[in-house]
Amino acid sequence: MIQRTRLVKPKMHDNFVERTRLFKTLEENWQKSFHQIVAPAGYGKSSLMSLWLDQRNDSYSWFTIDDDCNDFRVFLSYLAEFLRVDKESSHSELLELAEAHELPEMNYIRQKVLQAISYVEPAHVFVFDDYHLIQNEDIHSLMNTIVKNFSSEFKLVILSRSSPKLNFQKEEIYGQLHNIDLNNLKFLPEEIQLLSLKAFRTPLDKNTAQLIYKTSEGWIIPIRLILKSYSQGVAVNEIIDGIRFQSKGMNDYLLEEVLNFESDEVKDIMMAISFFERFNFDMIYLIISADDLKTPEENALVVDQMKDFISRSLFVISLDDSAYWYRFHELVARFLKARSSQFFHTKRRNETIKTVSNYLETLGFFDEALRLNLKYDLITPAIDILVRHRDRYLNLNRFDIIEKWLGYFPSEITNQEPELLLMKMYLCELSSDFDSIKIYATRLKKIISQSNLSLELSDKYWVEYHCLTSIVHLFNGNSEKGLEKMTLVINLASREQTYVLGFCLIFKSLVLASSGRQKEARVMLENDRNKLSLEDSILISQNLLANAYVEYMCGNLKALEYETSSILKLAMPNDFYAVFTMANYYAAISHYFQNRLEKIEIYLDPPMQHKFRSRPAWILHLLYVKALYLTAQCRDDEWLKCLEEMEDYNRAITHLDFSNSLGIMKCELYLLQGKVKEAWNISLKVDFLEMGVTHRYFCPRLTRIKLFIFIGSSRQLKIAEQLILEFENELKEPQSRIMKLQVRSLKILCLAKQGRITVALDLLKALLMETQKEDIIRLYTDLGEEMRELLNEIPDSGPWESHLFKVLSSFEEKDSFIKLKKKKERRQEVFQIFNSLSTGELKILDLMSQGMRNKEIADDMHYSVGTVKTYVYNLYKKIEVNNRTNAILLYNDFKNSSS
């Protein structure tokens, strides 16, 4: 018996929310013949189409399908009523076929159905609601016949909870299919606000609506439940936290929609995979296979059932175009997790998590595996993941990842676990936070001493302890103690502890080179290199980098260039981003010292492609070299942009703050341009006592000395003199030869400004002698005109002759940059004037450029000669020239530039 309510579209309540944006997309696509709206229950498919038909006033037929419609006779009976043109008549030919004792052949039925459709008036809309309930292949076949032969005069609308088994491929290719899916149907925050006001008479602010949207993912059923509780005075946070979806109504709904029609095996797997933020079929198979009670065939059958479930369920959301990864709708996931607590004991849950965690690790998703274990308080497996992969990230200098991983652990765990304490100490070393290293080292020493560790693990921890505390001794002025610990580490560390070995090798080389024991450093590095094989790419790169450090500390710029070229060949192919950055820095700074500005640029940009995968301080200092280079070329706009880039980078690095260093660098750059007042204003906000790093060019304490010298008052010069003396006498930290040369150049300038010219010139001659071998030039040029005046006092003849000529030439090069800059500025000013000239004035200039005299111009423009002369006189004043030739030259420049 026909239930006529199935042939009537849903009646809308007064408190519905009109989906304006969806009406718009329907309006834009209504000329198409086929419309498919696919989404889970409760997303408003039927409501949308019902409201749309009310708005359109088109003639339509509506068929709401139910389970019994899978009986072909029942479906045909409803289809007969659905297609009946004359609603007054009590019978139709299709209905007779459905009621016949024996159904005719399918081809005959198809023919009659198509014939019935042809009797319908044009522009009619046919709507099939809940089509997902159809499982009968004969019905699918009949519907595909309708699709294939459907007239463009009609509209066919399919509403379904899953993708229907209808072949719309051709229609999609020819642009005749319009799809609306879950993402389109989601209730947006502004629609939630409207619904709250209309259905529950409760105003809702924007932030609360956004919170409800995030929790519900735009699903109308939980939205209504939340709004109902909210209208009754319950706070939204309380509703969501609690989540009030533990209410019987919501649970019953989800039980009906998600679980009731599935096998026990599928229910079990669904609850198991609800532990994870995403899943795929490989993961499902591993979870099933962990049950030794099932055969491989039984496991494969359950996987097939899951594939079928996922293909049908729109509560499962695909996360990629290839449909490899999936996740549950958030509320469904919560529901399944709540149920899993009733059916999964802790041991089984943990075994499942272990299986999936191992699988994620094999795919390289270490972060996800770590978070998964910590989510369920599995601390030891989480630490094991960190231990297995931390050396790789240390060698790649990915401290950002290490810091993120540490942030996942509770602080009480971090402060008690040796592995986590070591990670904190490595991060402190990155920011030169030696006080914190000492605190963590004390705690680590106590834990190692009191714990019942294996000999191998104990040795490993002691090696890293000595490695990290050696750097503290070094920067506290106890170089010998630091060297002793580094030597101990190098002798005790295993070959697998590559980061630790490289760390101590580099710093030991630095200390030896800066304390006059360069030969010892080189012998040590050569012996180390002889032990390495070609497979030890990490250790080789660290050895080469240590060599580069030694050459820099010794001021051997030519040897430094050679070392950096070797490092660059090795670093990039192996993704050693930090090593790559350091090598580019040294190559750039080496060329800068030698004033080979044209060669610097190629080293500045490549490391920026990996600036978040390197040591941040080195990236910042490389940007500083870029700013130095741009300043040297008087490219003011560009160095200011470079400064903005440095500040943006500092903001992006959340685990470190270089604001103080940036202030000092800015101060240094202004001093290079002779803008002493601006530099002084900046200096009032920075701390110049910040720890300097000896193996880089930049040193805050030297910038402070330079600032006092440039100010030049007797009091400031006295302060500068005292600071220089302290620097020369201080043995607290190792000093590079480059730094010592910088101090001597500042001392010379300070003496000269105090009037002690003879002493200054004698020291300057000695400095020229020392810097000529390596062509160190910018040391002089960056100190400005007062240094040039001193250099001009040095006799041309002497062992320093050729070097002096190069240094003085660098000042002339600077002059040419300044002239070029002024010329460009003047040109821009003049061009701005040209742009402000009237059409008549520009016409006169154009005629002048063609060689016309005043009389000819007057005739051409119908002016008097006197008027033209007045124009010409005013033009000369505006563009600041005093004759015709210069005016024409400037105009031609302007015209060419404009074109």
Segments of the chain scoring below 50 in pLDDT: 90, 243-245
Question: Using CA atoms, how far apart are residues 661 and 580, in angstroms rounded to an integer?
Answer: 22
The residue type found at 267 is K
Q: H/E element holding 244?
A: none
Question: Using CA atoms, how far apart are residues 159 and 166, in angstroms rounded to an integer?
Answer: 12
User: Nearest 5°: phi and psi at 806?
Assistant: -65, -40
* pLDDT at residue 749 in the model: 94
* pLDDT at residue 823 in the model: 62
DSSP conformational letter for 11: P
The residue type found at 602 is I
| 569 CB-contact burial (10 Å; exposed 0-12 / middle 13-18 / buried 19+) | exposed
* Side-chain half-sphere exposure of 767, counting CA atoms within 13 A: 29
Q: How many CB atoms are located within 10 Å of the residue 48 CB?
A: 22
* Residue matched to tokens 């099933």: 288
Q: What angle (nearest 5°) sits at the alpha carbon of residue 592, between those of residues 588 and 598?
A: 80
* Residue matched to tokens 């005093």: 882
* pLDDT at residue 818 in the model: 62
* pLDDT at residue 633 in the model: 85
Using DSSP's 3-state secondary structure scheme, residue 126 falls into strand
DSSP conformational letter for 9: P
CB 401 within 8 A of CB 389: no
* pLDDT at residue 752 in the model: 93
Task: Spell out the residues 6+ positions from residue 186 whose beta carbon is closer than 8 angstroms to its own.
Answer: 43, 213, 217, 218, 219
Determine the distance from the C-alpha atom of residue 60 to the mean position of all C-alpha atoms in its chain, rounded to a whole number: 51
Task: Spell out the residues 6+ positions from residue 801 whose beta carbon is closer than 8 angstroms to its own.
Answer: none
Question: Using CA atoms, how far apart are residues 780 and 776, in angstroms rounded to an integer?
Answer: 8
CB 646 within 8 A of CB 624: yes
Q: Which of 173, 206, 178 is nearest to 192 (CA)?
A: 206
- Residue 743 to residues 63, 514, 574, 752, 763: CA-CA distances in angstroms? 91, 15, 38, 14, 12
Q: Which of 782, 768, 770 is nearest to 737 (CA)?
A: 770
Largest Cα–Cα distance in the chain? Answer: 127
Task: Spell out the residues 6+ positions from residue 456 whose beta carbon is closer than 8 angstroms to its own.
Answer: none
Task: Spell out the residues 6+ positions from residue 898 whose beta carbon is closer than 8 angstroms to its own.
Answer: none
Question: Using CA atoms, how far apart are residues 89 and 628, in angstroms rounded to an integer?
Answer: 93
